[in-house]
Structure 1
């Protein structure tokens, strides 16, 4: 068995050394949305049946397929396009961008740079920055994914403030305790929405990845990278991305280069923009005048 795996690694390594080498991997992505729907439902009176319907719609919204094209040093990862359900076209795109989705992820592991095009509240951005550094811990555990033997790796990473997939309800017991020890009442809170009081974003997440040494490519979906083999599965606690197909040395070549147009920003700048606009939207929607639109100054 070990000889067979070694022979496969040598064969794939030979493909990779070819000047025009390209590979392709297809990933199916699913996101747990229970906490997200609770956070967005706020204090509105909704029945358990309505809650289930919302969760089901969001679950389907976040069942996605991604195509990763890669060569020896770079890759692009793009969501496979599909028709939106009636009435979800605009809202679906906005929600997708708030949940860390949308756009084409380009990363160059040699230059340790990435870029991704995003659309948020009708404005286009190109987020360009250094690739995140993963302090991977290689575990001894292994499992089969399709016909490939994969090995487990874990890393603790900082959570992006613009990725709302990581929403979780705030600990209400702690919230009540904090209220009891308050000595000064902040009167400005009464005019604000209580949205940020009801949910919180963790500062860190533990990532679990399964990589395949048989495919010695330092790549993975979205911004995941840095392991001695192609990442075939990754789980951040909320979202699972599982590879369902791999094509090595594909005949159809794809241009692997940065894409997108719009205002160029760093990841930190984009996070701040998303946070600010989301808070504005929640405050406006919680006011006495009901729904109001939010626009960027052109």
Structure 2
């Protein structure tokens, strides 16, 4: 039954594509909520429930976010809504350092343009879209008023977190240097993130939140690692034309170059801290 429903829905999708006169005629906005589980590691077991609750409140702006995806048939712009910090009443500037910035995708041109700010310096990351090999299933569920189908993918974690940083990466770099010098011949396993996405053929665009795209309908829900992104509202074909423009300010750089830049800077900061101790 689900297989028949999937085939019928796919046929409807193809018919919709055939009658769409212009890629710019179809437009909309999708509103998403992102929630991440707080990973306290081994020392979390030493914390009381009150301490865990206090930690969650302090990190809430980083664990729970809201975004808007503006899109037409060819382009999309994904941007976070600003929120005040629950404790200080200010915006969370530190949390934004390693968070994704305003993201523009152009499917026709296979182009990603993302604005990133790192310690007061503006970067304009230009690169190809992340290639995702989706495995499309027949499992379905309702999200709001939209019938959605499930797709899964296995993606190297580094491809999804190129704008971020963790101190463990410096240790990995040290290991890499040993390998290059012949001191260590072991190979590090590539970390993989299992991704589950739900898309709807009722909105025939290949866009989605964050790095995710490439399915035959708008992605309304994504679960990857400890984070779930869920669409809460969709507005289609408003009278006023939605402006979708790529960010254009900052030093042009690729994803790999940007990752190398922030890793090098964090290495310098750690080294400077160590020298001050003597």
Band of TM-score, shorter chain: 0.7 to 0.9
Q: 1:13–1:256: structure 2 CA closer, same or farther, 3 Å change rule?
A: same
Could you say if the C-alpha distance between residues 97 and 142 of structure 1 is closer, same or farther in structure 2, counting changes exceeding 3 Å? farther
Deviations 1:236-272 (A, max 9, x none): 1122110111122122222212114111100000111
1:108 to 1:272, Cα distance in 2 relative to 1, 3 A: same
The structure-2 alpha-carbon separation of the partners of 1:285 and 1:12, relative to structure 1 and needing over 3 Å to count, comes to farther
Task: State the Cα distance separating 1:56 from its structure 2 match.
Answer: 3.2
1:174 counterpart residue number = none
5+ residue gaps, structure 2? 170-182
The 5 Å alignment of 1:1-298 reads 13=17, 16-18=20-22, 19-35=24-40, 38=41, 48=48, 49-50=50-51, 52-85=53-86, 87=88, 89=90, 92-98=92-98, 100-101=99-100, 103-160=101-158, 162-164=162-164, 203-285=191-273, 289=277
Counterpart in 1 of 2:180?
none
Cα offset, 1:12, TM superposition: 6.0
| TM superposition shift of 1:85 | 4.6
Distance apart, 1:275 and its partner CA = 1.8
Secondary structure at the aligned position of 1:116 is classed as strand
Distance 2:274 2:167 in 1: 20
SS in 2 for 1:210: strand
Aligned mates of 1:140, 1:6 — CA distance in 2: 11
Aligned pair in 2 of structure 1 residues 52, 279: CA closer, same or farther (>3 Å)?
Answer: farther
Structure 2 length normalisation: TM-score?
0.76
CA contact 2:68–2:79 (8 Å) conserved in 1: yes
SS of equivalent to 2:97:
helix
Asked if 1 retains the 8 angstrom alpha-carbon contact of 2:30 and 2:69, the reply is yes
Provide the C-alpha distance between the structure 2 equivalents of 1:11 and 1:204, rounded to a whole number of angstroms.
36
TM-score (norm 1): 0.71
Give the Å deviation of 1:213.
1.2
Whether the 8 Å contact between 1:218 and 1:225 is mirrored in structure 2 is: yes
**1:225 to partner: Cα distance:** 0.7
Q: Which runs of 5+ in 1 are unaligned?
A: 171-185, 187-199, 291-298
